[in-house]
Amino acid sequence: MATFPSTHCCHTYSPLPPSSSSSSSSSSVSYLPVYSSVHGRLQRVSISSIPNRFVSAKVSQQNALGMQDGPAAPAVNPIENEAPFKKREDGLFSTPSSKESKDTTVFNVNESESTVSITVVGASGDLAKKKIFPALFALFYEDCLPKHFTIYGYARSKMTDAELRDMVSKTLTCRIDKRENCGEKMDQFLQRCFYHSGQYDSQDHFAELDKKLKEHEVGRVPNRLFYLSVPPNIFIDAVRCASSSASSGNGWTRVIVEKPFGRDSESSAALTKALKQYLEEDQIFRIDHYLGKELVENLSVLRFSNLIFEPLWSRQYIRNVQLIFSEDFGTEGRGGYFDNYGIIRDIMQNHLLQILALFAMETPVTLDAEDIRNEKVKVLRSMRPLQLENVVTGQYKSHVRGGITYPAYTDDKTVPKDSLTPTFAAAALFIDNARWDGVPFLMKAGKALHNKRAEIRVQFRHVPGNLYRNIGTELDHATNELVIRVQPDEAIVLRINNKVPGLGMRLDRSNLNLHYAARYSKEIPDAYERLLLDAIEGERRLFIRSDELDAAWSLFTPLLKEIEEKKVIPEYYPYGSRGPVGAHYLAARYKVRWGDVGLEP
């Protein structure tokens, strides 16, 4: 039997008044006085077709705008009136149709009865310091963690609790808009962080951890979350030891697994098989942190809650879709890992493909995790495996600019001098279904490029019958474009044609711009915050199911094998440039121009 931690964090995102949204050139949209955030919770309900956080947002938005067609939306959470829970003999409530097995999620009326122990395995590492501990602190700071929780760092390095706290404290930051009591909050958080040193393959060492966890859990239903923040060759040992010696007796046990989930179909299937010796599928939370990014989460909202977009979302109106990732730094410090994977496995097969699946899927039956993941799998299975002729690879070379020498990829000491591993790739993908037949989905990902950016660009078809041809406007070259800028400086921009004001008739291209920093005053939570909170709450929507993973690898494995077998030589591009010119030829073959070249955005 497991309990559900009751969390009560509630962020409210108040849009800035229109007058202060100076860079939102557009705002013809009504001003929303209060917008409940994704973290807004009325009451914890986990396995409902609509996660609670969504319901609270929807209700407050509808009430604020009077948007709904029918009578005003109720001011209470409709789920409260649906009584979807069975009362159990022990006083807890469980969902009648829970799909979880060992990991049965229940709604705990009395939060003080349960506790969550979060163990960061690999706590001495880069990701733990950079992302996991800061995200846990941010959740604590926002009152999003359950009332009773303990955090343990676990790794081989020898450290005391005080040393872990010292290490962690160096990376904690407070929300810009909530600086007050920051030091106090940090101290409170650090007091709940502990450390246990042990080997990853030692059941005895995990049993020692178990003993320590029990001391903190005494008197409460213990729920345990393990975050595997270690290199992938350690995943199975750590899961075996954690599950046999440190899993929860009568609460839930969940494991967040970091990427990479294998390096091809076979190794991924082997990893899944090995993990399933110790865990049920619903205990495994395969993380793809791009799914936790605000604008990726917003993709479905944009599409399925706006009548103006969904009818256009098909081959009939969309000419091509571009998924672009670029970083303005190289593999600095991670060359050893990267050389075994390359950019196609590091970014395309997971982050960009996940975005593509969300972008292209059919409307899910509900917002339930399984319904969404079912639709994503269908899209992935409708896609053609990538072919080498539709792919361009590149690798960055040294470049001198402004007296500074930027290194080549192979200058990294952990990378073999003759490495052919791509640090850049561009690819054309196709979805062979009725909605997307013939529409090129172009992906481009690279390190050591001229900027850091992740975005989705949707280029629409031209308006048939160019009414404005006689005034010299070639509308075929000025088609509408929707840009969803995932990072940095999150924004949704729609490029339209408009008349230049004045007595004459001249056309211009302008941007309708939802610029998040201008529209919302609060900091956007880091992806790891959202995903950690979801894992604690048993929400699987943003985690990768094993059949999704299989489908994703099926698309890329033949290509990756061919690149390696044929020892395909990447096109070399200077550090800090826009990448290989081959990417433009690839796009041109499908009559596409990369939208990120030339004019901003």
Ligand X SMILES: O=C1O[C@H](COP(=O)(O)O)[C@@H](O)[C@H](O)[C@H]1O
Ligand Y SMILES: NC(=O)C1=CN([C@@H]2O[C@H](COP(=O)(O)OP(=O)(O)OC[C@H]3O[C@@H](n4cnc5c(N)ncnc54)[C@H](OP(=O)(O)O)[C@@H]3O)[C@@H](O)[C@H]2O)C=CC1
534 makes contact with ligand X (CB under 6 A): no
Q: CB nearest ligand Y: which residue?
A: 125
- Residue 396 pairs in a beta bridge with 573
Of 591, 555, 529, whose CA–CA distance to 37 is shortest? 529
R_g of the chain, CA atoms, integer Å: 25
Residues in 262-291 at the binding interface with ligand X, rule: CB under 6 A: 289
Sheet arrangement for strand 93-94: 86-87, 93-94, 106-107
Beta carbon nearer to ligand X, 296 or 533: 296
- Smallest distance from the beta carbon of 259 to ligand X, in angstroms? 6
Query: Which backbone phi and psi does 17 adopt, to 5 degrees?
Result: -60, 150
231 contact choice in ligand X, ligand Y, none (CB below 5 to 8 Å, kind-dependent): ligand Y
- Output the CA angle 58-63-67, nearest 5 degrees: 80
Nearer Cβ to ligand Y, position 167 or 491? 167
The interface with ligand X within residues 95-124 (CB under 6 A) comprises none
Which C-beta is closer to ligand X: that of 346 or that of 455?
Answer: 346
| Cβ at position 232, least distance to ligand X in Å | 12
Counts for the chain of helices (H) and strands (E), in that order: 18, 23
What separation in angstroms does the CA of 63 have from each of 28, 367, 486?
A: 19, 21, 28
Binding partner selected for residue 481 from ligand X, ligand Y, none, CB under the kind-specific 5 to 8 Å limit? none
346 binds, among ligand Y, ligand X, none (CB under 5 to 8 A by kind): ligand X
Closest C-alpha to 252, from 113, 356, 99, 102: 102
CB of 404 to ligand X, least distance (A): 21
Nearest residue to ligand X by CB is 346
Work out how close the CB of 289 gets to ligand X at its nearest, in angstroms, rounded to a whole number: 6
Tell whether residue 346 is a contact of ligand X (CB under 6 A).
yes
If the CB atoms of residues 59 and 230 are measured against ligand Y, the closer one turns out to be 230
Find the binding residues for ligand X in span 445-484 (CB under 6 A). Answer: 454
Give the shortest CB-552-to-ligand X separation in angstroms: 14
How far apart CA 123 and CA 516 sit, in angstroms, is 33
Other beta carbons less than 10 A from residue 486's beta carbon: 23
230 binds, among ligand X, ligand Y, none (CB under 5 to 8 A by kind): ligand Y
C-beta of 101: minimal distance to ligand Y in Å? 26
Q: Which amino acid is at 216?
A: H
Which of ligand Y, ligand X, none has residue 84 at its interface (CB below 5 to 8 Å by kind)? none
Please report whether residue 539 would count as binding ligand X according to CB under 6 A.
no
Residues that bind ligand Y (CB under 6 A): 122, 124-128, 155-157, 229-232, 234, 258-260, 337
Cβ nearer to ligand Y, comparing 125 with 582 = 125
> Beta strand pairing status for 507-515 and 193-197?
unpaired
**Is there a catalytic annotation at residue 39?**
no
Pick out residues in 315-344 that bind ligand X (CB under 6 A).
327
Distance, CA of 474 to CA of 455 (rounded, Å)? 26
| Closer residue to ligand X, CB minimum distance, 240 or 444 | 444
From the list ligand Y, ligand X, none, which binds 126 (C-beta under 5 to 8 Å, kind-based)? ligand Y
Q: Binding partner of residue 127 among ligand Y, ligand X, none, CB under 5 to 8 Å per kind?
A: ligand Y
Backbone angles phi, psi at 424, to 5 degrees: -140, 145
Shortest spacing between CB 525 and ligand X, in angstroms: 13
Residue 479 carries which side chain, given as an amino acid letter?
T
125 binding partner (options ligand Y, ligand X, none; Cβ < 5 to 8 Å by kind): ligand Y
Give the nearest distance from C-beta 341 to ligand X in angstroms. Answer: 8
Give the rounded distance of the alpha carbon of 135 from its chain centre. Answer: 14
Q: Which one of 39, 196, 289, 351 is the catalytic residue?
A: 351
Burial 431-470 (b: 16+ CB within 10 A, else e): beeebbeebbbbbbbbbbbeeebbbbbbbbeeeeeeebee
- Please, which residue, 185 or 289, has the CB nearer to ligand X? 289
Residue 468 interacts with, from ligand Y, ligand X, none (CB under 5-8 Å by kind)? none
| Residues near ligand X (CB under 6 A), total | 4
Name residue, tokens 């097995």: 101
Nearer to ligand X, 167 or 448 (CB): 448
Contacts for 272 with CB less than 8 Å, ≥ 6 apart: 261, 546, 549, 550
Tally of CB atoms within 10 A around 77: 18
Q: What per-residue string of b and e applies to 335-374 under the rule 16 or more CB within 10 Å gives b?
A: beebbebbbbbbbbbbbbbbbbbbbbbeebeebbbbebbb
CB of 542 to ligand X, least distance (A): 14
Task: Using the minimum distance from each CB to ligand X, give the nearer residue, 163 or 328.
Answer: 328
What DSSP designation does 276 have? T
Active-site annotation, residues: 351
Given the rule CB under 6 A, which residues bind ligand X? 289, 327, 346, 454
